[in-house]
Every structure is written in C-alpha cells, then in structure tokens.
C-alpha cells in the first residue's frame, strides 16, 4: 500500500467528513462558533489522524493514531446527537450519518487489528 488514501477506513472517514460538512451548511447562524465549529473539527480529525498515523511508518504509532481516531469518531457522534436533540437533524439524516460513522468505526477497528498482527509478527512497515 502506497498511500493512506487507499485505506478503506480513510475512504469512509473522508465520506463522513464530507457529509458532516454538507450538513453543517444547514445549521443556523447562532451555531457558527458552537456546534458547527466542534463537529467540523472532530470529523476532520478522523481522516487527519488516519493519514498521520499511516505516515509514521511504525505499527505502534499508527495504532495510537487510530485510537485517537476512534475518540474523534465518538466525539462526532455526540455532536450529531446534539444536532438531533436540537432538531437540526431529522431522524432519517441522523440515522444515515450514524450508520456511516459506525461503518467507519468497524473498518477502523479491523485496520487496528491488522496493525496489531503485523506488529506482533514483526512485519516491517
């Protein structure tokens, strides 16, 4: 694999980031520096941490960045729940975004397992 862009978890994270960004354009002006800023930052952190971990070229460091990515995913989920509670998101859009987020998390966990096996087996990065 030559680039983080080839990772399935990165592709899903990028899609999530783009969907969250699109949703944020619908938020009211009073949320500009509150919910909007926070959810944009957390969703961008997901793909950024996958990219940074990949670039470290060391399995253990990559795993640590992937763990940080999981934290950003759960933070993004909390922001989506806030948006739902505040009625900025309807049930269907929330469900779609949550499904995408959970798919990203599932694939990311698989990638972490792969990295752990590589580290245990001494596979060079």
How far is Cα 32 from Cα 24, in angstroms, rounded to an integer? 9
How far is Cα 18 from Cα 40, in angstroms, rounded to an integer? 9
Is residue 67 within 8 A of residue 119, CB to CB? The reply is no
How far is Cα 12 from Cα 49, in angstroms, rounded to an integer? 13
For residues 1 and 47, which has the higher predicted lDDT (pLDDT)? 47
The tokens describing 28, both together, are: 């009211």
Residues in the chain, overall count: 125
Q: Give the pLDDT of residue 124.
A: 80
Q: Does domain 4-121 correspond to CATH entry 1.20.1440.60?
A: yes
Is residue 111 within 8 A of residue 66, CB to CB? The reply is yes
Hunting for tokens 């983080």 — which residue is that?
Answer: 4
Q: Give the pLDDT of residue 1.
A: 80
pLDDT at 39 over 80: yes
- Tens digit of pLDDT for each residue in 44-96? 999 999 999 999 989 999 999 999 999 999 999 999 999 999 999 999 999 99
């Amino acid at each position: 694999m030559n680039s983080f862009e080839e990772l399935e978890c990165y592709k899903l994270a990028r899609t999530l980031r783009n969907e969250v960004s699109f949703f944020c354009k619908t938020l009211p002006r009073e949320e500009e520096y509150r919910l909007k800023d926070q959810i944009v930052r957390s969703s961008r952190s997901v793909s950024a941490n996958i990219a940074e971990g990949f670039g470290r070229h060391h399995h253990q460091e990559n795993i640590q960045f992937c763990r940080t990515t999981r934290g950003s995913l759960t933070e993004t989920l909390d922001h989506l729940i806030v948006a739902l509670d505040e009625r900025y998101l309807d049930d269907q859009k929330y469900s779609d975004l949550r499904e995408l987020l959970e798919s990203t998390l599932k694939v990311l966990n698989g990638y972490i397992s792969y990295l752990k096996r590589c580290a245990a087996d001494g596979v060079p990065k």
